[in-house]
Structure 1
């Protein structure tokens, strides 16, 4: 039986947790209905139970292009034709390259890069107009050690998105294709990714909450931006790689691995590389006490012009003055307003607040 209603439809691939889950909440808050695609059926069931007819869900592996095409057709038939499509699915492994075999590297690439490609193909097959947003990373500009497969995939997404954007413009299709380049975000990725480091992984500081990323996705949609840069760290990565790449690489050689290490190791660590981890549907990971609720969100083209005419310092300054989100920072979970350096870096998932 069709569940079509008279309100706009969005699709989020990788929408059951992390940035995708925060984006789901943000789009639902605008009154849209959302189709959620993800591997984990338990999390999809949780979302369906929470939001009822406002959501449509299907368990699908984004690396399977045929399955994504079938899901897109089903969305149109059962839920409505989408006007927004967000590609946010990803996998990673916190491991030295020498420890990552071909199958593991391919699995990360198939999900993170080809999953985005498959999402764009499926979206363009069913969308008549609207916005496609590919969720990227500052690591598309400057890579870090111990995540070679993930960094390579994010670089690939950047190149693919630019090529496809030009083709869409040449065809004069009324579809806007945007990239949102994210900083380190407090998501469950760091609780369930494959990890060969001797400690629990963490987002390399500064860390931002997933809601900052969700606001950036909405800004890309609202402004039809070509690219959105999020967080001062992404601006620094972009400027540093453009102006002083050898200095950036030297610093990452010295501290790039250590910046990704939290204190301690979770004895119940998960591994979601081959199958979904047993984990609730939530946006936040284990680093609420250290994550910032607000951050710079700036149009990437504007930032580049600032860098061209005023240098990297102007890029950062203008971004701070004009690109900051209007929402004021809220107190951090687990923070009483005092210096939070005494708060443990890693909080086990069982200790989360709902």
Structure 2
């Protein structure tokens, strides 16, 4: 029986790169995106078998339709919760709709996807894309960071639940730094995105996809890219007074780099 993987938000960028890596492993990839045309384009470029589906991840029943399709093809082995949205700005500056959309897509979309997969998956892998922002204070991205921290907590808890229940499902979370994708580029014109540019460079989608799919062969439940950035953010979260002084300086550095990239 053919092994099947579902990837959400795979019409472009990181999701498309992950779908490509899974197809190279011989899996039939169900490529989902709210933009069905983009999903079909990804499928057309896969080095293997795939199916395109329009999916709004915030709709629980729509997730179930995709799951039923996946198990109709073969054995559902991997479900990747990659779909996400990003709006930058002070927490009192972004709109109510931008708050709602980030919470619904970035958090509820992951929860609904994982719950759906667990309804039909006997054993396999749930892989959720969190973010470096999950580890500490990220001014200008407070709501986004909150959703990603919640995703990371959710993955930890569900992974323990699976072990306690004796189920053969493992839950993984990948926390990459800012990646050179359309989602990041579309907010790069705003000074409120400065924290996205405080690393040595934007990560490449292909490199992040390699790390994501590589977690399927690893016992690690969480991986941060790059690891040293995760250490810095976690330290700042543990020492709030240090963060209050250091993070604004980091933002100034990020703003200089942001302007250079324009």
So what's the TM-score if we normalise by structure 2? 0.89
SS in 1 for 2:46: helix
Q: CA deviation at 1:245?
A: 3.9
Match of 1:47 in 2: 42
Asked whether the 8 Å contact 2:122–2:168 carries over to 1, the reply is: yes
The correspondence for 2:9, drawn from 5, 14, 32, is 14
SS in 2 for 1:83: strand
CA 1:115 to 1:204, structure 2 compared with 1: closer, same or farther past 3 Å? farther
Match of 1:345 in 2: 261
Please list every run of 5 or more consecutive structure 2 residues that lacks an aligned counterpart in the other structure. Answer: none
Asked whether the 8 Å contact 2:39–2:54 carries over to 1, the reply is: yes
Aligned length: 259
Asked whether the 8 Å contact 1:131–1:175 carries over to 2, the reply is: yes
Q: d(CA) in 2 for partners of 1:252 and 1:11?
A: 37
Of Structure 1 and Structure 2, which has the larger fraction of its residues in helix?
A: 2
Match of 2:111 in 1: 117
Provide the aligned C-alpha RMSD in A. 2.4
Asked whether the 8 Å contact 2:81–2:129 carries over to 1, the reply is: yes
Q: d(CA) in 1 for partners of 2:62 and 2:253?
A: 39
Q: d(CA) in 2 for partners of 1:241 and 1:199?
A: 19
The correspondence for 1:57, drawn from 47, 52, 58, is 52
TM-superposition CA deviations, 1:68-119 (whole Å, max 9, x none):
1121112212x22310111111111111211223232011110001111011
CA 1:240 to 1:98, structure 2 compared with 1: closer, same or farther past 3 Å? closer
Q: CA deviation at 1:182?
A: 1.0
1:221 and 2:137 equivalent?
Answer: no
Match of 2:173 in 1: 179
SS in 1 for 2:45: helix
CA 1:199 to 1:88, structure 2 compared with 1: closer, same or farther past 3 Å? closer
SS in 2 for 1:94: coil
The correspondence for 1:155, drawn from 149, 156, 159, is 149
Q: d(CA) in 2 for partners of 1:85 and 1:27?
A: 11
CA 1:199 to 1:246, structure 2 compared with 1: closer, same or farther past 3 Å? closer
So what's the TM-score if we normalise by structure 1? 0.67
Match of 1:134 in 2: 128
